[in-house]
């Protein structure tokens, strides 16, 4: 399979290159990057030197790409993806879009949080690429919208409870998420400079973040009713990892063990979700570099609220790793093909 | 004033020594440490070499201390403090206890979260050392219970809203707190080793943490009713700092600006609370090394919940700095005496 | 192939488990750990859950191990290894010893830096497991002494220059090395606690470190004369990585380009050494998680000294990764079998 | 005294503001910043809110500044300083220049490493602001060139040995320095972004760095002969701190204790140099936030070379703190006025 990566110099693109470096049978045939166009791939990213065919690749401008690959990963800014998808989706080509452009079903909702949508005719056919929820749809799709990193963590943390109808929505669900800095992308900004981030911690976009409507959409779909939640992102002084601490009220009489049973059943056939034993706290480092989502369940002693702690690697499960899984499903390969390695620790 | 520090080799003790190193008029006359007894202070803590009289001090065993100082800081484990307080409180002596031993009014509550209390007769007279709430009581006290670091951050974040009676308690308050590693104390444990903490993040004591009942006690006192909350502590890969993200529902019709007005009024005469402009997110590094508590107010766009972000330095405002303020108040000095310096950044 | 790991709970042991988790054809049949004996592997190391057969393994006491595997990795303290090797080396068994016990040829030298040697009869047959220098010997060995992490970095950085006879030894070679904290092992010590290491940097064992005689031994062997050097280790606030900055004087008339030619020739057939283009500085993160050694060459503008910058991952190339390469060579597999993946970045 | 800070939004400027926030008797009357001109100081730097008169200051363009202050700190890029100094030096005004513009005595040397010098007539009168070497000159100066951060660390580490004539220059001195990221200034660059620096380490400008000629100039001055050295800077993943490991050969027969005696004598009256006991390694964190230079002496067991480890805080002793000391000396105040506080640790 010939693979093209559009937007390969950003962190999600680099992570795709890392994951594909030792993938048998497939080949990365081109990489694009507006910023690095003309440069040799391994000059810009020396950690990839001597791997696969990478020493021979140069970054290209993202032009005239249709037909050059069998599968495309779009790791570009929102807005750029929807202008590329129509031309790429020819013949048997498959596209996994890591941007936000095809995640929201409703073009008005997209416009409210992002900008007017220029290719709304593809919204209906795009699969929402969360395999634990939509594997069958993804298998048939030629276009998959890879979920946002925060939504991946929050939706996987809540889906079994919502599905099991144990949540009392009179208490608004709180999702307090903390992310590593790679989530902000590779770029030169003062706010992401070492001296501003190191030994520091803060929330950001505290009133509203674009990833919240994705959570509302998917959780409402499972619940068959509109679900609100209060979501807050924070910036952790780490490279990778998202941990979401999620608070909800259970219906009267629901015990922690019962809840745990619902989670075990829901994820019984999910190779990339690891339920931690009751009482054990998932840690971001334990999932680092992999597609795993580690989940822990707790009940607050004072208030009785349930707390779900959900951990992923934002670059792998929250972006490139999940994208590879989606391509695997879209092309008839095993879900975990090319991802059978251990987390990177310490 | 002669000052004695009991438990001076831990991080709170070190922070007291840092703050007292350039304090005019007062002198540290002894330091104790079971672990380092017999060692020279500046051999164990070389960063303090050449400062004040520190090169001449040796760590002592914590024995026979009564009468040796005019003021004592207890920076020891809970349990140890209550066995020392009765003998130290002689004559005009003042004691600021940084442990948990005299924070909870109710000895049964103490026993529930810690152990049986051996000096319950002092609970009534101990002032709860949060100056923004109890300055007048502290001024008259000979024994002050320095608040826990998490409670300092959460109570200061919620007090104005509770006082202003704008909170709708049908939604349980959520306090999601993140702390630097110094909060766990100075000691050799695998879980606090560099390789386990660096590039990692997790919650801990997720179902129940001993600092929660302090929050319940103080907030209920302000509200004149019992207030529950769901509190979760997390471990940040930073040395110092606590950031608490607090979620509550306002009564119908309460606007963010009104809430902000209540906070401005409440802290109008508090030199160590800095309200951030609406929309600005406090950062742990901006308060580092000082007694400041920085607070930001937000309203969630989707759910309408209010979010308070409250930031302190856990070692300074959450321990040693607040202890110095309390001693200032107990001895008739200005609240900020010896603490008039800028945060340490970057 | 049945593989046994003795000392599997330390960081080198964990790294072996990480590398072997997705190795086709071989199986880890037992893991030992005095400290964790009786515990389930994935309870102690949850990052390894759901991988290979790891959920079914328990840590054992290191007793009665002979015959249970075809290959053994010893990831234990020096002293412990030499007491185990004689019983393990039965039949066709292969042993890769990651400790220092069989690295020094001369038992008196071992005694000088460590302790008396209890199995000196194995010193002569043990291969020094640096594949770029001793591949042929390693292929025939049943016992390989895996080099120390610092020596790996320094010897690979200097070997081509020494071999090419361009070094003027009238100027003593300086090797200034900086290592991540995993090099100190997994253990609860104050000096390796997060708050002591984070935002800190220092040298240690500044006058003498046990890894220096390894460097002297191997470099002298290449030079066919005794070579001295001044070596200083430092502790970096990072998890993994060693960077050695090496200073030497070239013989009169030796130009940088000539030196570079010597390095290119020396490493022409070494898949795990990556020479960086002239002028480019290797970075620890670019080799992280792999067996690569990245090398950069420079000449000081003022003094004319040559500077070699040599980078490895201390846990992978400096320990477990090199051990796997050695086992590959000892068992007739390709040098890089099971190690064909990209560095972990960022 | 009215103080003006030109270039106050960079890290050196911020550090000046931190140090001056609690300085009795003096006042910062203006701050300039091209980038932030028009912004309120505490909006850009919220950590300084509520301190001194800072809430009332706005960043200005650096124009028309002559006569507005009694003392000026120039914390601007090299090149910018020499264009400002002539107009500022009117009447009794004092200028401390933190840039490189007046450090090198020889304008040709300046041109070689930087650019042509536009105000060479001030080179002769500018004091080189290293108080341990030039206090008497600084006291009489109206213009002081604040030394570079690396030179401060290396020159203080070598000066006593050079002065005592114990160095054998047939072995070229090696100065291997490691610096925190603030040394690169406050700015948005990819190479200083968190994800590129965190968990990473490398050398930079490995062949030649502009700070080397400063070292050569000052050490040659002490030695009364031209001294070469090989200097290499490295980037540490910490905010502040420089540690220099310096290697030199002693003349035959010079013992470590004798060398130590020379250092004790040289720094007997230097309040800001702390000699560590023989065998103890200085750590960057122990000097953090202060003007201290901590020095340790060692002798290599194998090669016999001497090793000096010299530690400073690059922003404080290496920039703003030393600048304040210089202003103290220039205005007849005690050397340490306003700097009598403890290092910031942990």
Per-residue model confidence (pLDDT) at position A265 = 98
Same domain, A91 and A155: no
Whether B261 shows a pLDDT value over 90: the answer reads: yes
Lowest mean pLDDT among B142-146, B188-192, C140-144: B188-192
For A60, residues 6+ apart whose C-beta sits below 8 A from its C-beta are A30, A31, A32, A33, A37
Tell me: do A165 and A307 sit in the same domain.
yes
Rounded CA-CA distance D180/D197 in Å is 10
Please report residues of A whose CB lies closer than 8 A to that of B300.
Answer: 207-208, 230-232
On chain D, the residues whose CB falls within 8 A of the CB of C239 are 199
Residue C187's pLDDT is what? 84
Contact yes or no for D176/A181 (Cβ under 8 A): no
Together in a domain, A154 and A272? yes
Measured between beta carbons, the chain A residues lying within 8 angstroms of D190 are: 186-188
> Is there a domain that residue A321 lies in?
no
Among positive and negative, which fits the CA dihedral A232, A235, A236, A240? Answer: positive
My answer on whether omega of the bond before B346 falls inside 30° of 0, hence cis, is yes
Contacts of A305 in chain B (CB under 8 A): 172, 174, 230
**Calpha distance C283→B47 (Å, rounded):** 31
Residue D319 is assigned to a structural domain of this protein = no
Reference B313, options B331, B337, B335, B286; nearest CA is B286
pLDDT in tens, C163-188: 999 999 999 999 999 999 999 999 88
Residues C111 and C154 in one domain: no
Residue C332: exposure state from Cβ atoms within 10 A (0-12, 13-18, ≥19): exposed
Can you tell me the distance from the alpha carbon of B297 to that of B280, in angstroms, rounded to the nearest whole number? 8
A192, D195: Cβ pair inside 8 Å? yes
Measure the CA–CA gap between D144 and B54, rounded to whole angstroms: 34
Map B24-46 to HEC letters.
Answer: CCCEEEEEECCCCCCCEHHHHCH
pLDDT of residue B43: 97
Stretches in chain D below the pLDDT threshold 70: none
Chains that touch A (3 or more CB pairs under 8 A): B, C, D
Contacts of A181 in chain D (CB under 8 A): 193-195, 198
- pLDDT value for B187: 85
Q: What is the pLDDT of residues B57-85, one digit of tens each?
A: 999 999 999 999 999 999 999 999 999 99
pLDDT of amino acid A207:
98
Q: How many separate domains does chain C show? A: 2
Q: Which of B83, B27, B37, B73 is nearest to B58 (CA)?
A: B37
Same domain, C307 and C197: yes
Residue C178 included in any domain: yes
Chain B: residue nearest C199 by CA? B239
**A46: chain C residues, CB-CB within 8 Å:** 276, 280, 283, 286, 294
The mean predicted confidence, pLDDT, of chain A is 97
Q: Residue A109 — left, alpha, or beta (φ > 0 → left; ψ -120 to 50 → alpha)?
A: alpha
Instruction: Identify the active-site residue in D149, D195, D293, D316.
Output: D149
The distance of A312 to chain B (nearest Cα, Å) reads 11
Which of D182, D192, D195 is nearest residue A11 as measured by Cβ atoms?
A: D195
Return the number of CB contacts < 8 Å for A and B. Answer: 181
Residue C344 lies in a domain: no
Mean pLDDT across the stretch A12-38?
A: 97
Which CA distances in Å does C106 have to B65, B148, B235, C115?
57, 58, 48, 12
Residues 6 or more apart in contact with residue B124 via CB below 8 angstroms = B105
The alpha carbon of residue A151 is apart from the nearest alpha carbon of chain C, in Å, by 22
CB atoms closer than 10 angstroms to residue D264: 11
Residues C203 and C258 in one domain: yes
Residue C147 distance to chain B (closest CA, Å): 23
Residues D309 and D166 in one domain: yes
How far does the CA of residue D65 sit from the closest CA of chain A (Å)? 28
Phi, psi of A202, rounded to the nearest 5 degrees: -160, 165
Please judge whether C237 and B198 are an interchain contact, meaning their C-beta atoms are less than 8 angstroms apart.
Answer: yes
Instruction: List the single best residue of C342, C343, C344 to mutate versus A (max A Cβ within 10 A).
Output: C342
In a domain, C304, yes or no: yes
Final residue of a domain: which of B82, B109, B125? B125
- From B46, B199, B286, residue closest to D276, measured CB to CB: B46
CA dist., res. D110 & res. D138, Å (int): 21
Q: Are residues A210 and A274 in the same domain?
A: yes
Nearest CA in chain A to C46: A286
What is the spatial distance between Cα B285 and Cα B56, in angstroms, rounded to a whole number?
33
Of C18, C182, C342, the CB nearest to A22: C342
Q: Residue A254 — pLDDT band, cuts 50, 70, 90? A: very high
C103 and C189 part of one domain:
no
Name all chains with 3 or more CB-CB pairs below 8 Å to chain C: A, B, D
Alpha-helical runs (H) found in B141-293: 149-163, 194-197, 212-223, 256-266
Quote the pLDDT of residue D187: 84
Rounded mean pLDDT of C277-303? 97
Pure H helices in B206-291: 212-223, 256-266
For residues D147 and D144, what is the distance between their CA atoms, to the nearest angstrom? 9
pLDDT tens, residue by residue, C100-144:
999 999 999 999 999 999 999 999 999 999 999 999 999 999 999
pLDDT at residue number D141: 98
Residue C68, domain extent: 2-125
Say if residues A11 and A186 touch (Cβ distance below 8 Å): yes
Give CA–CA dist C290/C19, Å, rounded. Answer: 10
Can you give the CATH number for the domain in which B93 is found? 3.40.50.720
Helix, strand or coil, per DSSP, at residue C179? strand
DSSP state of C251: P
Output the pLDDT for position A187: 85
Domain identity same for C57 and C160: no
Helices (H), B141-282: 149-163, 194-197, 212-223, 256-266
Rounded to the nearest angstrom, the minimum Cα separation between C173 and chain B is 32
pLDDT-above-70 percentage for chain C: 100
Alpha helices in B164-255 (DSSP H): 194-197, 212-223
Is residue A229 within 8 A of residue A167, CB to CB? The reply is no
List all residues 6 or more positions away from D31 whose beta carbon is below 8 Å from its beta carbon.
D4, D5, D8, D9, D13, D17, D41, D57, D58, D59, D60
Of the candidates D251, D250, D271, D273, the one whose C-alpha atom is nearest the C-alpha of residue D263 is D273
In a domain, C245, yes or no: yes
Q: Is residue B31 part of a domain?
A: yes
Does residue B321 lie within any of the structural domains? no
Give the model's pLDDT for residue B152: 98
Identify whether the C-beta of residue D282 lies closer than 8 Å to the C-beta of residue D311: yes
Question: Are the beta carbons of C189 and B188 separated by less than 8 Å?
Answer: yes
**C91/C157 same-domain check:** no
The order of strands in the sheet holding D173-179 is D202-203, D229-235, D173-179, D242-248, D306-312, D293-299, D273-275
Question: What is d(CA C187, CA C190) in angstroms, rounded to the nearest whole number?
Answer: 10
**Measured distance CA(D226)–CA(C335) in Å, rounded:** 51
All residues of chain B having their beta carbon less than 8 Å from the beta carbon of residue D286 are 46-47
Strands D306-312 and D242-248: antiparallel
Q: How distant is the Cα of D18 from the closest Cα of chain B, in angstroms?
A: 5
- Whether residue C241 contacts residue D316, with contact meaning beta carbons closer than 8 Å, is answered with no
Mutate to test the interface with A, among B176, B233, B243, B244 (most CBs of A within 10 A): B176
Q: Report the 10 Å Cβ neighbour count for A63.
A: 9
C283 and C228 in a single domain? The answer is yes
CATH assignment of the domain containing D310: 3.30.360.10
């Amino acid at each position: 399979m010939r693979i093209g990566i559009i937007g390969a110099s950003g962190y999600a693109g680099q992570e795709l290159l890392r994951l594909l470096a030792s993938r048998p049978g497939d080949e990365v045939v081109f990489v694009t990057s507006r910023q690095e166009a003309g440069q040799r791939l391994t000059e810009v990213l020396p950690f990839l030197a001597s791997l696969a065919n990478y020493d021979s690749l140069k970054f290209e401008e993202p032009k005239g790409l249709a037909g050059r690959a069998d599968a495309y990963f779009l790791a570009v800014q929102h807005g750029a993806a929807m202008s590329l998808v129509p031309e790429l989706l020819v013949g048997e080509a498959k596209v996994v879009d890591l941007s936000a452009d095809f995640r929201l079903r409703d073009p008005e909702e997209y416009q409210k949080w992002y900008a007017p949508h220029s290719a709304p005719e593809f919204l209906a056919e795009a699969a929402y690429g969360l395999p634990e929820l939509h594997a069958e749809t993804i298998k048939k799709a030629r276009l998959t919208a890879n979920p946002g990193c925060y939504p991946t963590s929050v939706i996987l943390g809540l889906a079994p409870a919502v599905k099991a109808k144990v949540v009392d929505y009179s208490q608004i669900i709180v999702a307090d998420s903390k992310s590593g800095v790679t989530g902000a992308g590779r770029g030169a900004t003062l706010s992401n400079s070492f001296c501003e981030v190191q030994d520091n911690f803060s929330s950001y976009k505290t009133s509203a973040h674009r990833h919240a409507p994705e959570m509302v959409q998917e959780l409402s779909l499972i619940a068959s009713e509109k679900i609100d939640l209060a979501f807050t992102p924070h910036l952790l002084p780490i490279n990778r990892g998202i941990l979401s601490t999620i608070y909800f009220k259970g219906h009267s009489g629901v015990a922690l063990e019962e809840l745990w049973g619902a989670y075990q059943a829901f994820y019984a056939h999910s190779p990339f979700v690891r339920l931690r034993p009751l009482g054990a706290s998932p840690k971001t480092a334990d999932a680092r570099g992999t597609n795993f989502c580690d989940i822990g369940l707790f009940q607050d002693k004072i208030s009785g609220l349930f707390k779900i702690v959900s951990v992923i690697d934002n670059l792998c499960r929250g972006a490139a790793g999940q994208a590879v899984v989606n391509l695997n499903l879209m092309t008839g390969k095993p879900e975990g093909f090319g991802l059978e390695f251990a987390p990177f620790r310490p």
